[in-house]
């Protein structure tokens, strides 16, 4: 089967090509899949999209008109895909149901530790041979109260690391996770978690009910010296409200691997022309904020698992099989 893969990172490409070489004809593109790049897929029965693809109804219509029948997304999240439109167009949509939760959990902790100990500022200073400690005072993680918003596989992995630091664990989810209860986690309402936690990490999917879960009201409930980490989906946080809190001197640190308007910016080089998103530009001016470019999943282990699952999805489609990764068509 001929497959066109969009949004392929430089380090990802050889892994993709090696995995698909024996069974399918694969072409890789760096550009993200959207309505402008969708015509490139004409004649390809399958496309593989990255997490930042814009698969709205217009993009899907172009793909379907060009002969595409399968969209194999290389991510777990699918809030960027109009599933109803895909079904109407007769497209099959599959995702990667799961991959290493440790990749994301470890990156979330890397962000938390970096903002807590001001590592970015410290490293920048020492490169200029400035060895002062002014403004670099952090806190012990040991003894902190850590709030884990969403205790699925990634949230549980994050909680295990937190437990290793010797923290008090609070959790919020629709149902408690046995593994988190075994760590001593106490489940609370979201308001109580935000008000009581020294560090809050987000690990819930982006759904209508979770859009701007952390809004101005939620931010106001947090401790003024709390740390906020988001490695899940950008839309969980009201970015404009976050900027206002930071301008008011609230929050000791913010680590973001995702941003609600990241599409078309993350995974691209804006070093020459800069960004036109004023909120993102403002966020990155605060010394206690670190932004990474949706890279939490980007480990050799996790990417290998994502590629293997994507290959299985293509094989299953070619063989007429259905797996738990198929989102469209819906189960009868």
Nearest-CA neighbor of 112 among 257, 223, 271?
257
Residue 319 makes CB contacts below 8 A (sequence gap 6+) with: none
Q: Name the strands in the sheet holding 2-5, side by side, starting at the edge strand that comes first in the sequence.
A: 25-28, 2-5, 46-49, 70-73, 92-94, 326-328
Residue 71 makes CB contacts below 8 A (sequence gap 6+) with: 46, 47, 48, 49, 55, 60, 63, 81, 86, 91, 92, 93, 94
Q: From the centroid of its chain, how far is CA 263?
A: 12
Contact 161, 105 (CB under 8 A): yes
Mind telling me the catalytic residues? 233, 262, 294
**Tally of CB atoms within 10 A around 12:** 19
Q: Which helix (H) or strand (E) holds 170?
A: strand 168-172
Report the alpha-carbon distance of residue 147 to residue 150 in Å, rounded: 9
55, burial (CB in 10 Å: exposed 0-12, middle 13-18, buried 19+)? buried
**The tokens of 95 are what?**
């995702």
Residue 110 makes CB contacts below 8 A (sequence gap 6+) with: none
């Amino acid at each position: 089967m001929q497959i066109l893969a969009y949004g392929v990172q430089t380090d990802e490409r050889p892994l993709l090509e090696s995995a698909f070489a024996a069974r399918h004809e694969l072409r890789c593109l760096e550009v993200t899949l959207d309505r402008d790049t969708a015509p490139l897929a004409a004649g390809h029965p399958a496309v593989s999209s990255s997490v930042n693809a814009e698969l709205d109804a217009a993009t899907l219509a172009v793909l379907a008109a060009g002969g595409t029948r399968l969209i194999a997304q290389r991510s777990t999240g699918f809030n960027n895909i109009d599933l109803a439109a895909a079904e109407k167009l007769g497209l099959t949509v599959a995702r990667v149901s799961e991959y290493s939760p440790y990749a994301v959990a470890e990156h979330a902790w890397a962000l938390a530790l970096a903002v807590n100990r001001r590592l970015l500022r410290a490293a920048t200073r020492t490169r200029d041979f400035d060895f002062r400690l002014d403004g670099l005072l952090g806190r012990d993680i040991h003894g902190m109260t850590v709030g884990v918003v969403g205790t699925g596989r990634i949230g549980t992995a994050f909680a295990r690391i937190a437990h290793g630091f010797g923290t008090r664990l609070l959790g919020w989810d629709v149902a408690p996770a046995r593994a988190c209860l075994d760590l001593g986690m106490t489940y609370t309402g979201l308001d109580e978690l935000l008000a009581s936690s020294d560090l809050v990490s987000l690990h819930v999917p982006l759904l209508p009910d979770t859009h701007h879960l952390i809004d101005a009201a939620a931010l106001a409930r947090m401790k003024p010296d709390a740390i906020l980490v988001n490695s899940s989906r950008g839309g969980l946080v009201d970015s404009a409200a976050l900027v206002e809190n930071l301008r008011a001197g609230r929050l000791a640190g913010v680590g973001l691997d995702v941003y609600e308007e990241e599409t078309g910016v993350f995974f691209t080089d804006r070093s020459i022309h800069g960004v036109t998103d004023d909120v993102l530009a403002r966020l990155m001016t605060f010394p206690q904020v670190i932004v990474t470019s949706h890279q939490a999943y980007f480990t050799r282990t996790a990417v290998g698992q994502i590629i293997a699952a994507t290959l299985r999805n293509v094989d299953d489609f070619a063989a007429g099989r259905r797996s738990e990764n198929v989102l469209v068509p819906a189960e009868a």
